[in-house]
Amino acid sequence: MLLTAPAVEVSEPSWTTSTRADRPFGTFIADEASPSIDRPRLTNANDMHRGRGVGRTATGTGYTVCMTTTERATIEDLRTPAQREFNKERVREIIERIFVHQDDAAIDELIAEDFTPHTFGPMPPGREGLRQGMRRAGAGISDPEFTIHELIAEGDRVAARLTTSARHTGPFMGIEPSGRRYSIDEIHIFRLRDGQLVEHWHEFDKAALMAQLKGETPR
């Protein structure tokens, strides 16, 4: 018997935000030494899902993070506007705390134990694989900045259109440090379960990135 699933309402795209981390070359997840930074207030969450709590400094990172309590959503709730907004806020938090600030505590909090990265290259699944990937990236770049242009949520997935930039200060993508700053557009897809990331995909213009690292004009 063939059943037709009910229509899923797609949320309105979120507005642009930008998050940047000024991180010295050679420091990454386990040995962050920068001063505490107050996280920007997340403005997209529906009140029924907004985290409540107080800020704390993650051990060994120097970054202020937020201790939150949220209600777990049922499968049926994934189609509600409130749950979609909650998922979008979680994606903002993943981008800010893990991709930008490389907050080690956030990996345990926001990433599922069975996390699967589909497009990060050779990387084992799970939280430890993501830690390794973040350390490799952090060893090659400094001062990363992520600008989110749109977040679109449907079901248990959130699509993000963003621009990333950073300074090339260590071996990265097989190229020795050049000191140049690159900027590329990316598309990311996040699948969440119970407020944690379980799958991730992303696409970017690799040729444009390589050209900028080498000081060439992108074709």
- Write the CB contacts of 165 (distance below 8 Å, at least 6 apart in sequence): 144, 145, 181, 182, 183, 184
Q: Report the C-alpha gap between 22 and 82 in whole angstroms.
A: 33
Residue 8 lies in a domain: no
Residue carrying the six token digits 């979680």:
90
Q: Report the C-alpha gap between 118 and 199 in whole angstroms.
A: 7
Which one, of 121, 124, 122, 98, lies nearest residue 190 by Cα?
Answer: 98
Instruction: State the pTM of this model.
Output: 0.67
pLDDT score recorded for residue 14: 52
Residue 133 lies in a domain: yes
pLDDT score recorded for residue 9: 45
The helix or strand, by DSSP H or E, that contains position 133, with its residue range, turns out to be helix 127-140
In order along its 219 residues, the chain shows pLDDT tens digits of: 333 334 444 455 555 555 565 554 444 443 333 334 344 333 333 333 333 344 444 444 444 444 444 455 455 556 789 999 999 999 999 999 999 999 999 999 999 999 999 988 778 889 999 999 899 888 999 999 999 999 999 999 999 999 999 999 999 989 999 999 999 999 999 999 999 999 999 999 999 999 999 998 766
Residue 10 lies in a domain: no
Residue 39 lies in a domain: yes
pLDDT score recorded for residue 158: 98
Residue 111 lies in a domain: yes
Query: What is the number of structural domains in the chain?
Result: 1
Residue 190 lies in a domain: yes
Number of neighbouring beta carbons within 10 Å of residue 83:
23
Owning domain of residue 201? 17-214
Residue 12 lies in a domain: no
Residue 174 lies in a domain: yes
pLDDT score recorded for residue 79: 73
pLDDT score recorded for residue 15: 52
Looking up residue 120, the CATH number of its domain turns out to be: 3.10.450.50
